[in-house]
Amino acid sequence: MSATSVLIERNTAPEPMIRLKGVRKAYRSGGRESIAISNVTMDVAEGDLVSLVGPSGCGKSTLMRILADLHQADEGEVRIGNSASAFVAGRDIGMVFQQALLLKWRTVLQNVMLPAEILGLPRRESEVRARDLLAMVGLAGSEDKYPYELSGGMQQRASIARALVHDPKLILMDEPFGALDALTREKMNLEMLRIWQQSRKTIIFVTHSIQEAVFLGSHCAVLTAGPARMADYFEIDLPFPRTLDVKTTEAFGVYTKRIYRLLGMD
């Protein structure tokens, strides 16, 4: 490739949706400072599904809070959105947590509509969208049920629909399947890939499961604790759509080994 074409390619490459550069955050308590994250540098393109993997306490939730604009970084650059579209955290982010956190006095449909209500979006359109999303996550027919009538996996699917209802640009998921049993979790992984491919959203997904990180991610960021830092960031070049078979391939093993090594577990 000639120097000119390299230049042109660089100039026309889309701006990343998220740019983190040298991000550091420490917590202070009792006069002592402990570093929660450091050295976090990554570019996330629109439509990427980035898995964030690392042991408990390595700063995954801290990084999510910085992305959600709930915490400020002490150092480094945090930029979300690009010149073509301004980014407003409250409107442009959908969040999913380890617990579904549905309001027990609201029906499934009313729960899913909550973010749209808070943002004051038109009611009728939001309801149509909420119903479509419930169908997409496999909950058609459960719209008028209450959370206690749903299994853990179904509740978590409702919370994913809720995170999408206001059509956010970025979905932040913090160990969303951590409370589910192993079989439900595998099913949810497959669902999640389907939902991602259908909704074409940019997703940052936190997990401490190395298998889950490789299976789901288009990219993977590995965080380590002691010292807290980002150890690696790479693309996972396994073709989509993925099925569970991919876990038995050699390439899958190469990626998981790479992460085990980074985490000092090889």
Ligand X SMILES: Nc1ncnc2c1ncn2[C@@H]1O[C@H](COP(=O)(O)OP(=O)(O)O)[C@@H](O)[C@H]1O
In terms of Cα–Cα distance, which of 18, 22, 24, 20 is closest to 228? 24
Q: What's the half-sphere exposure (Cβ side, CA atoms, 13 Å) at 195?
A: 25
Helix (H, G, I), strand (E, B) or coil at 70: coil
Of 61, 107, 156, 207, the one binding Mg ion (CB under 5 A) is 61
Does residue 29 interact with ligand X by CB under 6 A? Answer: yes
Q: Which stretch binds Mg ion (CB under 5 A): 40-48, 55-63, 109-117, 233-241?
A: 55-63
129 binds, among Mg ion, ligand X, none (CB under 5 to 8 A by kind): none
For the CA atoms of the chain, what is the radius of gyration? 19
Dig out the tokens for 33 from the structure. Answer: 């400072």
CA 168 to chain centre: 12
Q: Is the peptide bond before 227 cis (omega within 30 degrees of 0)?
A: yes
Give the integer Cα–Cα distance in Å for 163 and 169.
11
Of 2, 4, 11, 56, the one binding ligand X (CB under 6 A) is 56
Q: Which stretch binds ligand X (CB under 6 A): 58-66, 131-139, 149-157, 238-246?
A: 58-66
- Binding track, positions 61-100, relative to ligand X; x by CB under 6 A: xx--------------------------------------
Helix/strand/coil (H/E/C) assignment for every residue in 150-204: CCHHHHHHHHHHHHHCCCCCEEEEECCCCCCCHHHHHHHHHHHHHHHHHHCCEEE
- Binding track, positions 81-100, relative to Mg ion; x by CB under 5 A: --------------------
Of 23, 36, 44, 158, the one binding ligand X (CB under 6 A) is 36
27 binds, among Mg ion, ligand X, none (CB under 5 to 8 A by kind): ligand X
Residues of span 115-144 touching ligand X by CB under 6 A? none
Output 226 or 241, the one with its CB closest to ligand X: 226
Q: Which stretch binds ligand X (CB under 6 A): 39-47, 56-64, 131-139, 254-262?
A: 56-64
Question: Please, which residues bridge with residue 77 across strands?
Answer: 21
Instruction: Point out which residues bind ligand X (CB under 6 A).
Output: 27, 29, 34, 36, 54, 56-62
